[in-house]
Amino acid sequence: MIAIIKYNGGNVNSVQNALSRLNAESIITDDTEIIKQADKVIFPGVGEASSTMKLLKEKGLDLLIPNLTQPVLGICLGMQLMCRGNEEGNTQGMGIFDVSVKKFPTENIVPHMGWNTLSDLTSDIFSGIKAEDDFYFVHSFYCGLSQNTTSVCNYILPFSATLQKNNFFATQFHPEKSGKTGNILLKNFLNL
Which residues are the active-site residues?
A: 76, 174, 176
Handedness of CA 100, 14, 189, 121 (dihedral sign): negative
Query: What is the spatial distance between Cα 160 and Cα 114, in angstroms, rounded to a whole number?
Result: 16
Q: How many CB atoms lie within 10 A of CB 190?
A: 19
Q: Taking a C-beta distance cutoff of 8 angstroms, is the pair 4, 40 a contact? A: no
Sheet with 149-155: list strands edge to edge.
Answer: 26-29, 2-5, 40-43, 72-75, 168-171, 157-165, 149-155
Q: Residue 81: what are its φ and ψ, rounded to 5°? A: -75, -15
Integer-rounded Cα Rg, in Å, for the chain is 15
Label the pairing between strands 157-165 and 97-103.
unpaired
Q: Residue 91: what are its φ and ψ, rounded to 5°? A: -95, 130
